[in-house]
Amino acid sequence: KQEVTQIPAALSVPEGENLVLNCSFTDSAIYNLQWFRQDPGKGLTSLLLIQSSQREQTSGRLNASLDKSSGRSTLYIAASQPGDSATYLCAVEGNTPLVFGKGTRLSVIA
């Protein structure tokens, strides 16, 4: 059974810092890994999707990497801004629909 873990559960950084969020998964037989953002009381917004054959994906200040063999992914956020404050979730799709981690709650302090 696939399990997804995100560390840390919460993170607080000053504005302008670069930061890394971590995601690990137990079963490397995946089709893709996705990163989402969730604002309080809202739905999820897809940020990046990395296919199993890819090593990384970039969108603006966001860069996500995937090491399938070790079961790890990282989300790098450059030059963080207060508007980046949200919960970030990773999810993997394998032989079952998306399995989510419990997220990292990020606070960027101005």
Site for another protein, rule CB under 8 A: 31-32, 34, 36, 41-46, 49, 51, 89, 91, 93-103
| Smallest distance, another protein to C-beta of residue 18, A | 25
Cα separation, 44 vs 71, whole angstroms: 23
| Smallest distance, another protein to C-beta of residue 96, A | 7
Cα separation, 26 vs 3, whole angstroms: 6
Residues with Cβ within 8 Å of residue 97, at least 6 apart in sequence: none
- For another protein, the closer CB: 31 or 82: 31
